[in-house]
Structure 1
Amino acid sequence: MTPRTAPRVLVAAALSAAACLQPARARAGDAEACFTASEEGQRLRDEGRLREARARFIACGGAGCPDLVQSDCAGWLSDVTARVPTLILSAQDEQGHDVADVRVTIDGAPLAARLDGKAVEVDPGERVLRFERPGSAPVELRLVVREGEKLRRVSARLARPGASAGAPAAGALPPREDRAASPPASGLILPIALGGVAAGSGVAYAALGLSARADADRLRATCAPRCAEADVDAVRAKILGANIAFGVGVAALAGAVAALVLRRAEPGAPAATAAVHVVPLRGGGAAALGGRF
């Protein structure tokens, strides 16, 4: 190497080294950007800003990022995509016809320049949708959007400014007509309970009555008329118990019927009444249930 060519060789070597270092620095910068996107995506996801988080996860899941970052971001991207809610927006005019020339904003930010029937993505949370159309009064709808809620339909009724006071308010929902017209199930608790008492009393009446009759027949066949007083008292006690059970059962049954009748009575209608008549008979009794409906 001559003295004249030495400086040229050194310059060439320096340029070659710089050229080799440039890709390494670029790769280091790319890796740092990947880590930054990963951290921002996680923060945005936790704040409920799912659409922004998804954009970050797409960035850090690219081929230029380290393998570990790519793997994590790909999993987070799949999760966030499933959680992003979507709405299907529509609007009608005063005659109930669909209109498309409607601009929609969400929390003051543009959401749709025109209604085309396609689903739009929004972030979860409490949101205010504003529907605007030339020649119509704007309508604002407040709703709570839930994570993972897909294809939720949101509609607004647009009317001219100063519409008649008798007309439904713009954006107002129609009255619910599918509410249950039947009385609440809790109103059946009392009739059911009284019916159970009546059934139990009927069983007790039958059991005590049959047992008393069997004991009385046995005493007549074995020791009458000189039976022990204790045996006779036992038969009388069973007969008394049977009569008490009969009375309780009749009263409970009457109460259950009356509760059902009063439960079905409409407001303003004459009050329904029920009455029970119990007639004692030899060896038992009889009952009659009457009422005015």
Structure 2
Amino acid sequence: MTPRTSPRFLVAAALSAAACLQPARARAGDAEACFTASEEGQRLRDEGRLREARARFIACGGADCPDLVQSDCAGWLSDVTARVPTLILSAQDEQGHDVADVRVTIDGAPLSARLDGKAVEVDPGERVLRFERAGSAPVELRLVVREGEKLRRVSARLGRTAAPGASAGAPGGGAVPPREDRAASSPASALVLPIALGGVAAGSGVAYAALGLSARADADRLRATCAPRCAEADVDAVRAKILGANIAFGVGVAALAGAVAALVLRRAEPGAPAATAAVHVVPLRGGAAAALGGRF
């Protein structure tokens, strides 16, 4: 006679089997999540989204993941952490004083609600940082952030907000600088004309001295050897040197005067025609006349 199985025994066996299967199903689900995090982390890393990739590698490197996945994710996590760039942000007001109540965004996303001097992590690539502070015109800085770049200092100078009705044009909507500031922004170009005229004056002075000394030496030689019956060609040569010396002298004086005038008047209004000058020399009998003409 076959012994009969108690219904209570069958229920107990079913419950025991279900209890054994539940952890196995949970472990299978955890392993699948680990593999998914591992794959997403690699994809994000290759796209340059290093901060998001690091979060995935932390997830797949946990103790609940298979040993092989843990090992791979731990290595990738170390590599990505070393490659994440960091910036140290700072800002100054119009007087050059450090300010902390500044909000910073990166590519339109929040980065820092207040400047505290601590390094912040960003992804590599071309980034736009925007500094905003109450009462100041916002400032945007465009950077190229490199992988592995650590503790790079980035500073912004915040000016006052433009007055109502003021024309925009400065970066970030700030006020347009005064005319004298814009005119003084290129002092080198304003000195081109004075330097050029000064060079002409110096060269003319050298030519005047050389021709004058040579003419005097030739004249003394003629007086000592053939005067008053010297050859006409020799006399003309001396006269030509004297004329050249006089012309050089006139050009030098005119150029020097032009250089001084250009220096005095170089702070012209922006947009005015560029300063120009011309030296006119007219040979005269026994010398020359020089005149300087120009517009400054």
TM-score scaled by length of structure 2: 0.55
Q: Relative to structure 1, is the Cα distance of residues 192 and 281 closer, same or farther in structure 2, using a 3 angstrom cutoff?
A: same
Structure 2: distance between partners of 1:157 and 1:104: 13
Q: Is the 8 A contact 1:94 1:159 kept in 2?
A: yes
> What do residues 241-284 of structure 1 show as CA deviations (whole Å, max 9, x unaligned)?
99999999999999999999999999999999999999999999
Deviation at 1:223, TM superposition (A): 50
Structure 1: distance between partners of 2:219 and 2:167: 87
Structure 2: distance between partners of 1:191 and 1:78: 62
> What do residues 140-183 of structure 1 show as CA deviations (whole Å, max 9, x unaligned)?
11110000000000000111189999999999999999999999
Q: Relative to structure 1, is the Cα distance of residues 99 and 8 closer, same or farther in structure 2, using a 3 angstrom cutoff?
A: same
Deviation at 1:8, TM superposition (A): 1.2
Deviation at 1:185, TM superposition (A): 22
Deviation at 1:92, TM superposition (A): 0.2
Structure 2: distance between partners of 1:80 and 1:47: 12
Moved over 3 A (4+): 1-5, 161-293
Deviation at 1:77, TM superposition (A): 0.5
Structure 1: distance between partners of 2:178 and 2:72: 49
Q: Is the 8 A contact 1:91 1:102 kept in 2?
A: yes
Structure 2: distance between partners of 1:94 and 1:212: 65
Q: Relative to structure 1, is the Cα distance of residues 212 and 81 closer, same or farther in structure 2, using a 3 angstrom cutoff?
A: farther
Deviation at 1:290, TM superposition (A): 34
Q: Is the 8 A contact 2:41 2:52 kept in 1?
A: yes
Q: Relative to structure 1, is the Cα distance of residues 184 and 158 closer, same or farther in structure 2, using a 3 angstrom cutoff?
A: closer
Over the residues paired in the alignment, what is the CA RMSD in angstroms?
9.2
**Which SS does the other structure have where 1:247 is aligned?**
helix
Structure 1: distance between partners of 2:166 and 2:287: 76
Deviation at 1:204, TM superposition (A): 36
Deviation at 1:209, TM superposition (A): 40
Q: Relative to structure 1, is the Cα distance of residues 228 and 122 closer, same or farther in structure 2, using a 3 angstrom cutoff?
A: same
> What do residues 51-92 of structure 1 show as CA deviations (whole Å, max 9, x unaligned)?
000000011111111111111111100100000000000000
Structure 2: distance between partners of 1:9 and 1:242: 132
Q: Relative to structure 1, is the Cα distance of residues 175 and 263 closer, same or farther in structure 2, using a 3 angstrom cutoff?
A: closer
Q: Relative to structure 1, is the Cα distance of residues 286 and 44 closer, same or farther in structure 2, using a 3 angstrom cutoff?
A: same
Q: Is the 8 A contact 1:157 1:170 kept in 2?
A: no
**Structure 2: gaps (5+ residues):** none
Q: Relative to structure 1, is the Cα distance of residues 202 and 270 closer, same or farther in structure 2, using a 3 angstrom cutoff?
A: same
Q: Relative to structure 1, is the Cα distance of residues 90 and 241 closer, same or farther in structure 2, using a 3 angstrom cutoff?
A: closer
Q: Is the 8 A contact 2:87 2:152 kept in 1?
A: yes
Q: Relative to structure 1, is the Cα distance of residues 202 and 8 closer, same or farther in structure 2, using a 3 angstrom cutoff?
A: farther
Q: Is the 8 A contact 1:194 1:255 kept in 2?
A: yes
**Which SS does the other structure have where 2:179 is aligned?**
coil
Q: Relative to structure 1, is the Cα distance of residues 127 and 172 closer, same or farther in structure 2, using a 3 angstrom cutoff?
A: farther
Deviation at 1:6, TM superposition (A): 1.3
Q: Relative to structure 1, is the Cα distance of residues 284 and 59 closer, same or farther in structure 2, using a 3 angstrom cutoff?
A: farther
What residue in structure 1 maps to residue 105 of structure 2? 105
Q: Is the 8 A contact 1:261 1:272 kept in 2?
A: no
What residue in structure 1 maps to residue 227 of structure 2? 224
